[in-house]
Amino acid sequence: MKFIVKTFEGLEEVLYKELIEKGFQKTKLLRRAVSFIGNLEDLYRANYTLSLGLRILQQIYYEKVSNEQQFYQFIYDVPWHRYFTVDKSFRVDVVLLTERFKNSLFLAQKAKDAIADRFRKEVNERPAVDTRKPQVIINIHITDLEVTLSLDSSGDTLNRRGYRDYQGLAPLNEVLARGLLKLSGWNSNMPLLDPMCGSGTIAIEATYEANNIPTGYLRNQYAFMNWTDFDKDLWKKVREKAQSEIKNAKLKIVGADMDDRVLLAAKKSIQKLPYSQSTLFIENDFLKNNIPFQNGYIISNLPYDERIEVENINHFYNNVGTQLKFNYKSNRIWLLMSKEYAKFMSLKPKKKINLLNGKIECTFNEYEVY
């Protein structure tokens, strides 16, 4: 079976490396994704352990179609009742990358009609459509060459680990946070400081990484549980094996912020994980007070104008650079920031990596201070 692991643009190569390190076979780099070939156990393991994937699609059929009638017939010919039962709600997502068809919403409706008609033929009933919280998600990817049908095995995106209750004003996506850790070269032998941690995503993701905690540790639901071939015993085996490999790294990981509300949320989140005692969250104003920290990594997502007024950006970024230069010389420093405001940093970057944080164009910069 062929699977597609979706991710953010800029994280494809580190996701590719993660798949190889975890033993997945026949991996291939794609745009915003990596594919691999595997079986049901691999699918369960990928959903439960991969840190850089957003969702995992299982490809089931593909064919070249030239018009809407052929499209309908192609969808209708799929034996959908073999993939999920009529009591499960479903949604159709269409990704349209061709000018042969004009309207993705129209095609989604045609696909829903075809699926409903096929169910009526087989079981004399049709499943309900639920666009908000469906039990089954069908992905249709249309290019000039072919139409590819896939089942979304994840459901909710995989960044939803299960630890976050309160997200603060500008939460960092969990997959992007883990991507920052990977791109920076940080490893679980090196202490880590996030001096402007917000609700603690980078520090919490580092705790997962250091202690080898599977990303699905706190998560209970995946879309593949609603498929007809769901194997409860195999799923239990996958979880138990991954959990048996959790370790106590006892690594110093520190998150700091001046907002006690988001720190409280971060502390509640980290308490849900095993062996998290070495991860500390402290109240601190980075520009006013130094945090004793040496010979480690400083990785942070700097505030954008959502959290500080635009007229203060120049002053703020300049002061961040000054603070790092004079008080954190023995550390490797990586900062994520809006491209628009990167010019205000008082330090010159050694390396730049272009990323997107939501819709904001960002740069992830490495700085050396002497």
> What's the pLDDT at 306?
61
Q: Domain range holding 326?
A: 174-213+252-367
- Look up the pTM and report it: 0.94
- Nearest CA-CA partner of 179 in 310, 313, 364, 21: 364
- Measured between alpha carbons, how far is 50 from 44 in angstroms, rounded to an integer? 10
**What is the total count of domains within the chain?**
2
> What's the pLDDT at 369?
87
> What's the pLDDT at 304?
76
Examine the domain organization and report whether 203 and 98 are in the same domain. no
Joined together, the tokens standing for residue 317 give 């970024």
> What's the pLDDT at 91?
98
Report the relative pairing of strands 136-143 and 90-97 from DSSP bridges: parallel
Mean model confidence pLDDT for the chain: 94
Residue 72: Cβ-neighbour burial (10 angstroms; 0-12, 13-18, 19+): middle
CATH of the domain at 72: 3.30.2130.30
Examine the domain organization and report whether 11 and 72 are in the same domain. yes
Examine the domain organization and report whether 205 and 107 are in the same domain. no
CATH of the domain at 308: 3.40.50.150
Examine the domain organization and report whether 180 and 105 are in the same domain. no
Could you report the average pLDDT of every consecutive run of 10 residues in the chain (370 residues)? Answer: 97 98 97 97 99 98 93 98 98 92 92 98 97 97 93 97 71 95 95 96 98 98 98 99 97 96 94 95 95 95 69 86 93 95 91 92 92
> Of the residues 152, 187, 221, which one is the last residue of a structural domain?
152
Distance from the Cα of residue 167 to its chain's centroid: 16
- Measured between alpha carbons, how far is 146 from 363 in angstroms, rounded to an integer? 35
Examine the domain organization and report whether 300 and 355 are in the same domain. yes
Q: Is residue 168 part of a domain?
A: no
> What's the pLDDT at 307?
54
**Backbone φ and ψ of 194, nearest 5°:** -115, 100
Q: Is residue 237 part of a domain?
A: no
Q: Is residue 315 part of a domain?
A: yes
> What's the pLDDT at 311?
60
> What's the pLDDT at 358?
86
Q: Is residue 247 part of a domain?
A: no
- Nearest CA-CA partner of 290 in 330, 327, 247, 319: 327
Examine the domain organization and report whether 307 and 189 are in the same domain. yes
> What's the pLDDT at 167?
55
> What's the pLDDT at 20?
98
Contact, 323 vs 369, CB < 8 A? Answer: no
- Measured between alpha carbons, how far is 39 from 174 in angstroms, rounded to an integer? 27
